[in-house]
Amino acid sequence: MKFYKLSPTERRKVLQEKGVELSPITSQLLKNLNNLSENVVGSISLPLGLVENLLVNGKEYMVPMATEEPSVIAAANHGSKIFARHGGVSVINRRDGIYGQIVLQVNNDFKLEDLNKKVPELINLTNNNFASLVHHGGGVRKITSKQENSLVYLKVLVDPAQAMGANKTNAILEFLANTLLDFTGVEEKLFAILSNYPSQLATGKVSLPLTSVGGKEVAQKIVLLSEIGMQDPYRGATNNKGIMNGVDAVLIATGNDFRAVEAATAVLASENGYHSLSNWKIENNQLIGELTLPMPIGVVGGSISVRQDIQDSYQILGKIDSETLASIIIGIGLANNLAALLAISTAGIQAGHMSLQARNLVATLETSDKNKEVILKKMRKSKRYTLEDAQNFLQELEEKK
């Protein structure tokens, strides 16, 4: 039988016969995961950590973050604490919808003006056909068109309500494209699919006293770093990676499509030359930080409601809508960004990173948990963080015995 037609347990057996030793997994989990994806043979897990208090638009949230990178959650907590002491993050959402694209091949009988006249009727027809989306507050909002030679491009804005909306948007686009096949001059549909162009934009802003980051000198360095990131793509890319450390961790914890957010974010960062997504400046003796990101996310739909691990995250967050989740994610992105800029402007990033990564190194040593704790403390105290340092400390401990 073809590998993909086997059950996950049978697939694991095939691998085992080839000498691949997979970690154990319960049959229930394997069954659940098999419903989510294809050719499933196991599962990968990530640590779920918490930001204890992110203040966004006047409300406090505990924020779940899934990441394997040491220091990301520590950084998010650090930034969030500074924000919470000074009014928190204010976020404005422009959740107009996500884009879909239909491209049609047309002949000389096609008239764009006639198609444009038909747009209100097309929107009504589609919304009647997708009544449950309309019932949940969404639907097709706008259709614009352009013609380039024998190709007609339709840009369709779909409000997906509380979902990310990829599947629904694709279904709507297929429906519209099929309807348009009867339109005079339309020869064929080239494609009809959602676009990952930036949409559902959210902008977060913090305003901090200079003392909150250690004074004017540090604040000025943060601003300078930010300015460099605006002009120099090498720094811009790293700055944005720091933001996405936090953003992706919340997207993963909440079952959202981080690839869609990453793809859209890359477009935004490349407008007028690649640059930092965040911007820090000093105004009226305040350090002002701003971040705009596309947030095509949802709190329902996709695999969100069927995954128990993801539901844990929503219990931590409390009952929230997609707009609030988008605001929280922007807040976390800004918090991670500030913590990184602060570390770079002061002790340097390596000090904090190495100290957190020491735990991973120590975990690889073959010794008791008690010894590991002692070794970790010694590494942090002496600021010696290599594997060799860890092994030397272990040898010292063993010799002492």
- Give catalytic residues, as residue numbers: 69, 241, 257, 353
Radius of gyration of the chain (CA): 26
242 binds ligand MEV (CB under 6 A): yes
Given 169, 226, 245, 345, the residue binding ligand MEV (CB under 6 A): 245
Give the integer Cα–Cα distance in Å for 104 and 102.
6
Binding segment for ligand MEV among 173-181, 236-244, 291-299, 307-315 (CB under 6 A)? 236-244
End-to-end CA distance of the chain: 59
Q: Which is nearer to ligand MEV, 22 or 224 (CB)?
A: 224
The number of residues that bind ligand MEV (CB under 6 A) is 8
Q: Which is nearer to ligand MEV, 172 or 340 (CB)?
A: 340
Q: Which is nearer to ligand MEV, 96 or 227 (CB)?
A: 227
Q: Quick one: tokens of 239? A: 């700055």
377 binds ligand MEV (CB under 6 A): no
349 binds ligand MEV (CB under 6 A): yes
Binding segment for ligand MEV among 5-13, 95-103, 237-245, 357-365 (CB under 6 A)? 237-245
Of residues 308-347, which lie at the interface with ligand MEV (CB under 6 A)? 340, 344
The upper half-sphere exposure of residue 46, i.e. CA atoms within 13 Å in the direction of its Cβ, equals 21
379 binds ligand MEV (CB under 6 A): no
Q: Which is nearer to ligand MEV, 160 or 246 (CB)?
A: 246
Binding segment for ligand MEV among 178-186, 192-200, 240-248, 310-318 (CB under 6 A)? 240-248
Backbone angles phi, psi at 218, to 5 degrees: -65, -45
User: Smallest gap, in angstroms, from Cβ of residue 362 to ligand MEV?
Assistant: 21
Binding track, positions 183-222, relative to ligand MEV; x by CB under 6 A: ----------------------------------------
Q: Quick one: tokens of 256? A: 């959202």
Q: Which is nearer to ligand MEV, 63 or 338 (CB)?
A: 338
With vertex at residue 121, the alpha carbon angle to CA 119 and CA 126, rounded to the nearest 5 degrees, is 95
Residues 6 or more apart whose Cβ sits within 8 Å of residue 253: 48, 64, 65, 66, 310, 313
State the DSSP code for 22: P
Please count the other Cβ atoms lying within 10 Å of the Cβ belonging to residue 244.
21
Q: Which of 126, 160, 125, 155 is nearest to 142 (CA)?
A: 155
Sheet holding 201-209, edge to edge: 90-94, 201-209, 286-294, 278-283
CB nearest ligand MEV: which residue? 242
286 binds ligand MEV (CB under 6 A): no
User: Smallest gap, in angstroms, from Cβ of residue 327 to ligand MEV?
Assistant: 22
279 binds ligand MEV (CB under 6 A): no
Q: Which of 302, 312, 196 is nearest to 256 (CA)?
A: 302
Binding track, positions 85-124, relative to ligand MEV; x by CB under 6 A: ----------------------------------------
Residue type present at position 284: N
Backbone angles phi, psi at 69, to 5 degrees: -85, 115
State the DSSP code for 273: S
User: Smallest gap, in angstroms, from Cβ of residue 89 to ligand MEV?
Assistant: 18
Q: Quick one: tokens of 201? A: 């934009």
Q: Which of 367, 364, 368 is nearest to 388 (CA)?
A: 364
List residues near ligand MEV by CB under 6 A.
Answer: 238-239, 241-242, 245, 340, 344, 349
